[in-house]
Structure 1
Amino acid sequence: MARPRTFDRDHVLHAAERQFRESGYNGTSVDDISAATGLGRGSLYAAFDGKHGVLVQAMAGYFDRLGNVPAKVLAGPDDGALERLHGYLLRAVHGVPLADDVPPASDRAAAACFAGKMALEIGASDAEVQRIAAECFSMLVMAVAECVRAAQRNGDIDPDADAEDLAYLLLTVIRGTDVVGAYGHSPARLTQIAESAFALLPRVSRR
């Protein structure tokens, strides 16, 4: 009996993620995934139960890699929270990965949040994709909101403002720049959008 073919699962899922990022779910065929990963169609179906199974596991891998990275990036002393929030916003709108093992992207559109990209495309009709995307977004909201609270404790942001509301505002801007960036607008334009969003934070006047 022939021995089953072995493969690096993480490598395969990273390659599939890059393919889905570049072509979208509907624009990616099983043959595309096979070419990108080096696995034959039979092996893909046996290991992942087809294209949808590859997507769900690739999204789960993305969520696992993202893990607590945003919280670690935004964590620190209260007196540096506002600067960390500013840096995070600028980095995010330019599609700069927070973790070193996030697969590189060939263009700005492909650098957008993988979970968000898939949710926009098929989340309305795919409960599993929607669930994973929602978990990713909730994790980001918690990390950003905690940084906002640190800035509030330091007296930089109005303590009466709702930290979660401000986190949703900033993350909505970030996800919006995924779309603006996909249309080919310049990095300077994206930076201006980020700076305008940052200026909307209710700052505390200092004498």
Structure 2
Amino acid sequence: MPRPRKFLESDVVSSASEVFAVHGLAAATLDDLVRATGLGKQSLYNAFGGKRELFLRALSEDRDEATRAVSEALGHDDASPLERIRGHMLVMAIEFSGSDRRVSLTTRALVESTGAEDPLSTSAKAGIEQLAGVYAQCLEHARESGEIPEDANVQSLAVYFVAITRGMELLGRAGVGRGVLTAVALDSLRVLHRQPMEEADDRPSVRD
């Protein structure tokens, strides 16, 4: 009989996730993963099949957690649907501008994927679909309550907000400040009311 494993896979995946969030898949080394997880290289291979497979496992759990977080943020019924989205976007602007903000593995996978057939791309798209489903539910409530036009395309708007937040994440990673990200967050909401953007001169520059 095989000897029982003396580790929890969930703990290993969590530790590996932190490594991948910092380095990405390509740059993360097996030595990095060994140090972070406390497992030997052979144990990692035996349990997960290799670095790429471990990344995909971590990515799956990361996207589920991200979906839960957005669902919680947009699920409170003590505010209108658009107020919930507005609050969520402003929180994202604050979090993404933090110097210690952890990069999501979905964003890492989007950056490192090589094409439609790449498992990274397939898994990242699954994460986008999950997030879009949460936004779509909130936007549907907004349409039903008359907060957005009746002919609004809820599905495309949902993907739009996923794209905005992923873009904000990358901008924050590049050092773009809170003022700019806040302006992006607020301007992103104007499309829901078909309102014009503020004059460009009134908004912070990426150099600020």
Q: TM-score, normalised by structure 2?
A: 0.82
Q: Please show how residues 73-152 of structure 1 align to structure 2 within 5 Å.
A: 73-77=73-77, 80-95=80-95, 107-108=100-101, 111-124=102-115, 127-152=118-143
Checking the alignment, whether the CA contact within 8 Å between 1:78 and 1:150 is kept in structure 2 is no
139-148 or 165-174, which deviates more: 165-174
2:31 corresponding residue in structure 1: 31
CA RMSD of aligned residues (A): 2.6
2:54 corresponding residue in structure 1: 54
Alpha-carbon distance in structure 2 between the residues aligned to 1:2 and 1:149: 52
Residue 175 (str. 1) matches residue 163 (str. 2):
no
Checking the alignment, whether the CA contact within 8 Å between 1:13 and 1:58 is kept in structure 2 is yes
Alpha-carbon distance in structure 2 between the residues aligned to 1:66 and 1:148: 18
Residue 190 (str. 1) matches residue 176 (str. 2):
no
Partner-residue secondary structure (3-state), 1:24: helix
The 1:2–1:148 alpha-carbon spacing in structure 2 relative to 1, beyond 3 Å, is: closer
Q: TM-score, normalised by structure 1?
A: 0.82
Checking the alignment, whether the CA contact within 8 Å between 1:95 and 1:112 is kept in structure 2 is no
* 1:49, distance to aligned residue in structure 2 (A): 1.3
Alpha-carbon distance in structure 2 between the residues aligned to 1:126 and 1:16: 24
1:158 corresponding residue in structure 2: 149
* 1:68, distance to aligned residue in structure 2 (A): 4.5
Alpha-carbon distance in structure 1 between the residues aligned to 2:33 and 2:116: 22
135-144 or 79-88, which deviates more: 79-88
Partner-residue secondary structure (3-state), 1:107: coil
Structure 1: runs of 5 or more not aligned: 97-104
The 1:159–1:2 alpha-carbon spacing in structure 2 relative to 1, beyond 3 Å, is: closer
1:107 is aligned with what amino acid? D
Count residues in correspondence: 194
Alpha-carbon distance in structure 2 between the residues aligned to 1:51 and 1:94: 32
69-78 or 36-45, which deviates more: 69-78
Alpha-carbon distance in structure 1 between the residues aligned to 2:52 and 2:94: 29
Structure 2: runs of 5 or more not aligned: 196-208
Alpha-carbon distance in structure 2 between the residues aligned to 1:28 and 1:15: 13
* 1:43, distance to aligned residue in structure 2 (A): 0.8
